[in-house]
Amino acid sequence: MLGAGALLALGGATAPLTGCDLFDRDEGPPPGPDPLEPLAAEARDLAARHRAALAADPDLAELLTPIAEAHEAHAGELARLTRRSAAAAAPSTAATPGDRAAVLAALREAEQHGRETAAKLCAEAPAGRAALLGSIAAARATHVEALR
C-alpha cells in the first residue's frame, strides 16, 4: 500500500514536468523595439547636423565641436543601454542655411525639439533610465542656450 502511494505521489509530482508546458512554453511575441531607440537616432542626427554645420563654417568649431561630441557620447551610451549598435548617423541631409545666424537658428530649433523629446522620455522612464535621460535633456537645454 505504501509503495503504491509513493508511486502515485511520485507520478503525480512528475506529471507536470513531462507535459508540453515544460518544453513548449510560449514566451509570447518577441519584445518590440526599445523606446529609447528613437532618442539614440535623434542623438546621432543632431551630431551629424552639428558636424555638417561645422564643415560649412569651420569658424564655429569652438562652439559646435563640444556639442557634436556630447551627442555622439549620448548616442553611444543609449546604444549600450538598449544593446543596439551605435552606428554613426549618415551625414545630415538637412539643408545648411548660408549665413551663420540661420545655421545657429536651425541648430537651436533642432536642439529644442531634442530637449523636449528627452524630457518627455525621462518623465516616462523607469528609474534605472531616468538619470541618463535627465542628463541628456539637461545637455540639450544647455545646447539651446549655447547656440543663442
The predicted-structure confidence for 95-144, as pLDDT tens digits, reads as follows 455 789 999 999 999 999 999 999 999 999 999 899 999 999 999 999 99
Q: Which pLDDT score, from 0 to 100, does residue 27 have?
A: 62
Cell of 51: 558636424
> Which is more confident, 18 or 48?
48
Cell of 137: 535633456
Per-residue pLDDT tens digits for 1-41: 555 544 444 455 554 445 554 555 556 555 678 899 999 99
* Residues 82, 40 contacting (CB under 8 angstroms): yes
CA angle 86–75–32, rounded 5-degree value: 70
Distance CA 5, CA 60 (A): 85
Mean pLDDT of 71-96: 75
